[in-house]
């Protein structure tokens, strides 16, 4: 594989916020004592009068964001994904999603690659618990370029949004002229034997898996499903029809996230063999991101294994 | 302090009786809802909506209006009654409380009804939202004030103290909170279930300006306390309003069984007689 550029989605988030802040005086940013990690500190430095650190109080942060939004502000609220969504879930539900307020929850440290901090800090259920809420848009960018575009997109589209970013740097897959549209999945590579529907950091793994599968005569299509809600049902059903088998790949529990969402759509619209790559129904542990991804089954080779199994199932 | 004329006081007292009649009628008709805690804050809401707050029912979105957040959202019947009497929607619509298709949801829903500043009902969240509204006003250099009513049972929620800390830290002096200190919650007396005393000291410790021992059913006392809060600068203010749950209806007063239970038809008749 050619050498890939690595970039940090959270760095790009911080920089994008600053740019948005220059253009739009109504952008207000909140953080819960993690602004150095989430990179909202960049915005805080530039626009101190529009930044509030609420301290270690995620529930307060989300409802406070809702109050700010009622005054016409476009509010970004950031912390680690597990706290933004889990700790404050009912605040997201009652203060933000139900009244459909203009609050953008942009969380970093999504998934298992949070790493050494261990289970308490690894968000592996956040996609599931956010997508179940009405009125909310859920986006998981696959690289830094998509992150910038996604942040701009949710800033200009009225309503609640959840954007999940990562702790480590991730491969840059898109070029700078990439066009991002909320709710529209992207075919990253053509293929006819099956489709790998991936989100977040698993898009890179899916592309790597495709290369390996190619050598073994399996022609896999790769879709970047950056928006989990609203899900691109049309593209999914089209892929199911054209390739006859779907693999989902996400850095999240296999329950309720991308895999769950895709299973729902396929079962109702076009029943198709499906295998889900993701964290099985267990908690992980501390470790280096790469070690964890390998131990808990979220690498390119896990996708390859699932793809082969799927092809066999299709043949039988 | 400008003296509020006697006739205005009388007018507000009689308005509060109207609000109380609405509360018992609405909840009785709906055969559900929270009359006890609605009656306890009826005078507070009356003074806010018919005397203190700058608001315009014809223009509910007026950017400079004062805002009210009912953090103890279960007192929605009291809020609906003052909104209807203010002219946000027809008084006759109060009959639809909690009915399917009605904008008068069990707890306030800002999307369905003009005049509702924040969706509330899940306790503790309204106070955080009120602080957020204050900060929004501060960024825009607006002069509006934000009022919020919090319950004493609600004060067992951790989020109340998270919000209290935010308001104290950010010195949001455009915020006046009124604690509806009715001393009862669903399961019994607040002090028996999980005591919140010394409540005034707690707020002081969170860097609030505390105005205590205010009779929450005395219109003049409430006006005096609200004026005092408005004059304070550099910290948020809380008025500890001493109230009686079920106030105004003898058999509902101090009776926590009317926290979440509506008066029956017979009870309604008796209640209305007492409120005439």
A241-A247-A249 Cα angle (round to 5): 135
Q: List all residues 6 or more positions away from B259 whose beta carbon is below 8 Å from its beta carbon.
A: B34, B36, B37, B184, B185, B186, B245
A219 pLDDT more than 80: yes
Nearest Cα to Cα of residue A258 among A139, A149, A119: A139
Query: Which pLDDT band holds residue A161 (cuts at 50, 70, 90)?
Result: very high
Residue of A nearest to B142 (CA): A71
| B229 contact A CB<8A | no
pLDDT tens per residue across span B219-230: 999 999 999 999
Structure tokens, A232: 């691109």
pLDDT at B168 over 80: yes
Each residue of B137-154: pLDDT tens digit? 999 999 999 999 999 999
CA distance A254 to A241: 23
Residues forming a β-bridge with A195: A221, A246
Residue A260, phi then psi, degrees to nearest 5: -65, -45
Contacts with B137 from chain A: Cβ below 8 Å = 71
CB-CB neighbors (< 8 A) of A133 in chain B: none
Beta carbons of A60 and B169 less than 8 Å apart? no
To the nearest whole number, what is the mean pLDDT of chain B? 97
Per CB-CB distance under 8 Å, the chain A contacts of B159 are 59-60, 63, 91
Interval B44-95: pLDDT, tens: 999 999 999 999 999 999 999 999 999 999 999 999 999 999 999 999 999 9
pLDDT in tens, A193-207: 999 999 999 999 999
Per-residue pLDDT, A21:
98
**CB neighbourhood size of A22 (10 A):** 11
- Chain centroid to Cα A58, Å, comes to 20
Mean pLDDT of A127-141: 98
Mean pLDDT computed over B18-33: 97
| A152 counts as catalytic | no
Nearest by CB to B118, from A54, A67, A90: name it.
A67
Is residue B231 pLDDT above 90, yes or no?
A: yes
Q: At A274, phi and psi to the nearest 5?
A: -140, 135
Q: Which of B132, B139, B163 sits opposite A65 (nearest CB)?
A: B132
**Complex confidence, ipTM:** 0.97
| Whether the Cβ atoms of residue B170 and residue B131 lie closer than 8 Å to each other | yes
Interface residues of chain A, partner chain B, Cβ below 8 Å: 28, 49-50, 52, 54-55, 57, 59-73, 75, 90-91, 93-95, 98-100
Percentage of residues in chain A having pLDDT higher than 70: 99
Let me know: does A296 contact A284? Beta carbons within 8 Å. Answer: yes
pLDDT > 90 fraction of chain A, expressed in percent and rounded: 98
Report pLDDT for B2: 58
Q: What is the mean pLDDT of residues A91-97?
A: 98
Closest CA to B134 of A34, A63, A55, A58: A63
CA distance A150 to chain B (A): 25
CB atoms within 10 A of CB B56: 13
* Rg (chain A; Cα; Å): 19
The domains found in chain A, sorted by start residue, are 6-171 (3.40.50.970), 186-315 (3.40.50.920)
Sign of CA dihedral A5, A11, A15, A16: positive
Q: Spell out the domains of chain B, with CATH numbers in brackets.
A: 6-274 (3.40.50.970)
Q: How many CB atoms lie within 10 A of CB A115?
A: 21
Task: Output Rg (C-alpha) for chain B, integer angstroms.
Answer: 17
Residue A255 to residues A204, A304, B3, B100, Cα–Cα distance (Å): 21, 20, 65, 34
Q: Does the pLDDT value for residue B1 go beyond 90?
A: no
Phi, psi of B229 (to 5 degrees): -60, -40
Please give the average per-residue pLDDT across B202-221, as a whole number.
Answer: 98
Residue numbers in B near A60 (CB within 8 A):
128, 131, 159, 162-163, 165-166
Residue A97, preceding bond cis, omega within 30 degrees?
Answer: no
Which member of A54, A71, A98 has the closest CB to residue B166? A54
Name the pLDDT band for B187 (thresholds 50, 70, 90). very high
- Do residues B43 and B222 lie in contact, with contact meaning Cβ atoms separated by under 8 Å? yes
For chain B, helix, strand, coil in percent to 5 are 45, 10, 40
Q: What is the pTM of this model?
A: 0.97
Q: What pLDDT was estimated at residue B4?
A: 80
State how far the Cα of A282 lies from the Cα of A19, in Å rounded to an integer.
Answer: 40
């Amino acid at each position: 594989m050619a050498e890939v550029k690595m970039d940090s989605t959270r760095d790009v988030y911080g920089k994008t916020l600053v740019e948005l802040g220059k253009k739009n005086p109504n952008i207000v940013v909140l953080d819960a004592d993690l602004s150095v990690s989430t990179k909202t500190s960049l915005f805080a430095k530039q626009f101190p009068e529009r930044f509030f650190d609420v301290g270690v109080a995620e529930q307060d942060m989300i409802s406070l964001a809702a109050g700010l939004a009622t005054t016409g502000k476009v509010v970004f609220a950031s912390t680690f994904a597990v706290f933004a969504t889990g700790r404050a879930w009912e605040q997201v539900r009652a203060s933000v999603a139900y009244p459909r307020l203009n609050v953008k929850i942009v969380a970093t440290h999504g998934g298992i690659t949070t790493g050494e901090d261990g289970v308490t800090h690894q968000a592996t259920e956040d996609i599931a618990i956010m997508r179940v809420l009405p009125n909310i848009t859920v986006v998981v960018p696959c690289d830094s370029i998509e992150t910038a575009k996604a942040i701009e997109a949710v800033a200009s589209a009225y309503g609640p949004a959840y954007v999940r970013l990562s702790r480590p740097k991730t491969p840059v897959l898109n070029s700078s002229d990439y066009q991002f549209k909320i709710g529209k999945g992207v075919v990253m590579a053509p293929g006819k034997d099956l489709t790998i529907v991936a989100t977040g950091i698993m898009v890179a793994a899916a592309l790597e898996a495709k290369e390996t599968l190619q050598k073994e005569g399996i022609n896999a299509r790769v879709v970047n499903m950056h928006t989990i809600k609203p899900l691109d049902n049309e593209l999914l059903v089209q892929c199911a029809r054209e390739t006859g088998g779907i693999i989902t790949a996400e850095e999240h529990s296999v329950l309720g996230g991308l895999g769950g969402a895709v299973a729902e759509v396929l079962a109702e619209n076009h029943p198709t063999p499906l295998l889900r790559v993701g964290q099985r129904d267990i908690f992980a542990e501390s470790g280096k991101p790469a070690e964890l991804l390998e131990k808990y089954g979220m690498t390119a080779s896990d996708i390859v294994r699932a793809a082969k199994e799927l092809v066999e199932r299709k043949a039988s | 302090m400008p003296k509020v004329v006697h006739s205005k006081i009388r007018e507000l007292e009689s308005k509060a009786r109207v609000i109380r009649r609405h509360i018992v009628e609405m909840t009785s008709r709906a055969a559900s809802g929270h009359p006890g805690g609605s009656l306890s804050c009826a005078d507070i809401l009356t003074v806010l909506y018919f005397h203190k707050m700058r608001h315009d029912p014809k223009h509910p979105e007026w950017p400079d209006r004062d805002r009210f957040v009912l953090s103890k959202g279960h007192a929605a019947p009291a809020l609906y009654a003052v909104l209807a009497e203010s002219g946000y929607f027809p008084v006759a619509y109060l009959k639809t409380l909690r009915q399917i298709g009605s904008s008068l949801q069990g707890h306030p829903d800002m999307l369905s009804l003009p005049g509702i500043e924040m969706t509330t009902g899940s306790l503790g969240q309204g106070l955080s939202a009120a602080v957020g509204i204050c900060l929004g006003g501060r960024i825009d250099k607006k002069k509006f004030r934000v009022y919020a009513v919090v319950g004493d049972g609600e004060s067992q929620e951790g989020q109340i103290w998270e919000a209290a800390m935010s308001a104290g830290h950010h010195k949001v002096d455009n915020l006046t909170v009124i604690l509806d200190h009715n001393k009862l919650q669903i399961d019994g007396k607040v002090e028996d279930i999980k005591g919140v005393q010394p409540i005034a000291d707690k707020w002081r410790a969170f860097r609030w300006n505390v105005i205590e021992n205010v009779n929450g059913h005395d219109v003049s006392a409430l006006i005096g306390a609200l004026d005092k809060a408005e004059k304070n600068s550099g910290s948020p203010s809380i008025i500890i309003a001493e109230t009686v749950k079920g106030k105004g209806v003898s058999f509902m007063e101090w009776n926590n069984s009317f926290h979440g239970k509506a008066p029956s038809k017979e009870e309604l008749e008796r209640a209305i007689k007492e409120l005439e």
